[in-house]
Structures are given as C-alpha cells and as structure tokens.
Chains A and B, each alone.
Chain A
Amino acid sequence: MKILIADDSRVMRQIVIRTLRQAGYDDHDIVEAEDGADALAKVGSEQPDLILSDWNMPNMSGIECLQALRASGSAVPFGFVTSEGSAEMREKAADAGALFLIAKPFTADTFTEHLDGVIA
C-alpha cells in the first residue's frame, strides 16, 4: 500500500511516518508532499492508496486539495491529520469526503483507532 503524507512541516511528516510505524503500519511505501498542490500533483504521478493530509498549508490547503480531487473524479481515500479538530472542521472535512480527521497531538493509539480498516 502506498501512503501519501502531505504537510508543510518536514518535522511533522517525520512524526506522522514514525507514528504509523509505532501503530504497526510499517510495511508500506511512503510518499511525501509539502503542500496541497504538491499532494494533488503526486496523486497523479504516484497513485497513492491513501492520503494523510494537514489542513492548513501554503499554496493549497488540505481541504482545497480534497475538493480538487473529488471534483476531478478521484475517490482516493483521504484523511486529515491536523492541529484543528473542532466540530465545525470535522463536519467540513466529512462533507468534502474525508474519511476521518485526526487532531494533533496524536498517539499511535489514535492512528490505530482511525486507520484500522482503512489500511490493509
């Protein structure tokens, strides 16, 4: 399985990768994107099976990336990993077609809770 991780923070991308391993998802290909526009381009070139994306990023936000993907007909599974976990944002994420929203800070248990059944 190929997982695309989109976050403008390199450190946070490392933390997400580390947490995936701690949660037991350590046998997957990882592709990194540094903002929503980069993620959108890499969906085309890398064909990921799952996207884990920050919300607030320069150039193109995570929600704009998700909306662009769905508008183009892509149904690639998409989840947010973001510091903003209000009810309003969770609703907005779900309405746009996100499978889940993991709020930072997170633990390996949080990842397991949301990703079991999504990651084969």
Chain B
Amino acid sequence: MTTTDTGQRRRSSDHRPLIPSLIDEATVLSIAEEAWLALVGEDEVLVPLSVELPVDIMSSWVDVVGPWTGSVVLTTGRCTAEALSRALLRESAPEVLEIEDVEDAFGEIANVVGGNVKAALTGPSSLSLPQVGNAPVVRNPADVCRVDVVWRGEPVSISVQGALPPLPVLRPTPQNPLRENEVPL
C-alpha cells in the first residue's frame, strides 16, 4: 500500500514553544535596563512607555537558534541610534560618526541584550553575530515578546520574535518571474 507523507505526524510531534511561555516582558525590560546602565551610562534610564516610532528607523538584531528559534530585535529612530553610539563611544566618539560606527555600536547593544535573552531561555542555543538594517518580519504574532521604552525622550522597541513559520519561498513563474537581482527568500 502506498501512503502519502502529509507531514502531519512530524508537525504534531514537532511542538516548539512560543516565546511568551519562555520569557516575560519584565525579564526583557530588566535585561535591557542592565545593558543600558553598563553600556550607555550609569544615569541612563529606560522608561517603559509605548510611543510611536519615527519614520526613519533602524534595527539591530541577533538570531537565537535552539529549542526556540527567533531574533532579538532593537528598533529605534536613526538619530537615536546615533545618539546611542555616541553614548557608547563617549570620549572616543569622532566628531562625525560613520555609518560603520553606528552599526557597530547599535549592533553591540543587540548582541548584549540578545546574549542575555538567550541565557534566560532553556536548552542549548546558538547566537548569531549582530546584524543591522531592516528588522526581520514578525512571522507569528503569538510568538513575540515586545517591550516598548523611551530613552532620552525617544522611543526604542525591543522585540523577541520567533522565526517560524518560515516565509514562503518565491519561485519564478511565467506570470511572476523573479526580477533581476531579486533573491528568493
């Protein structure tokens, strides 16, 4: 008898936890506050408050791969990311910041926050190098633990978000060919 593998058995046994069952907002906030005090400055406080992000935003994140797989994403206005970078560099900050300086500093904050989020999760996981750019897309709204804060009057969001389900793979069709330089996800 021929059977068809529908994937149902794999799916039902492949139960992966969602992030709200692993970490709560208070823990994420506590991790961020500690990172801010140590990296940004002893007097730098984060106020838990949801304020709309500006149009020109920048994100930095690290990926966590393990029993829970996803990203720890920091998002703020580009100007705020620059202010954070200056705060980290302090007296060694150049008069004009290069984009590499901002990517390095803002990425390092994500690295420190992400590393501590990873340590708070159960089971062995690996952590990627930090990335900076447009934030990964939220795949499953139920697999998100997000904290919104205000630093020096500017909004910063910290989102611990799952990477599943994967985004659909784009395949070129005669009706919808891939454009030049377009990369399948």
Contact = CB atoms under 8 A, between A and B. Distances in A.
The answer to whether A and B assemble together is yes
Interface of A: 8-12, 14-15, 18, 56-58, 82-86, 88, 103-107
Interface in B95-115: 101, 104-105, 107-108, 111-112, 114-115
Nearest to B36: A105
A40 B108 CA distance: 23
B127 A10 contact: no
Contacts of A10: 101, 104
Interface in B7-21: none
A104 B119 CA distance: 11
A100 to B, nearest CB: 17
15 contacts: A9-B108, A9-B111, A10-B101, A11-B85, A14-B89, A14-B92, A56-B129, A82-B115, A83-B111, A83-B115, A83-B127, A85-B119, A104-B115, A105-B34, A105-B116
Contacts of A107: 38
A105 B88 contact: no
Contact of B38 (A14, A56, A57, A105): A105
Interface string B43-65: 00000000000000000000000
Interface in B138-158: none
B119 A84 contact: yes
Nearest to A82: B115
Q: State the 7 A-B residue pairs at the shortest beta-carbon distance, nearest first.
A: A83-B115, A105-B38, A11-B105, A84-B115, A104-B112, A86-B119, A9-B108
A11 B38 contact: no
A86 B126 CA distance: 11
Contacts of A58: 129
B178 interface: no
B35 interface: yes
B33 to A, nearest CB: 10
A13 to B, nearest CB: 10
A56 B65 CA distance: 14
Contact of B39 (A15, A57, A84): A15
B177 interface: no
A84 B38 contact: no
B110 to A, nearest CB: 9
Nearest to A88: B124
A68 B21 CA distance: 40
Contacts of A88: 124
A15 B35 CA distance: 13
A84 B31 CA distance: 13
Question: Which of A18, A83, A85 gathers most chain B CB within 10 Å?
Answer: A83
A47 to B, nearest CB: 26
A70 B35 CA distance: 32
A105 B129 contact: no
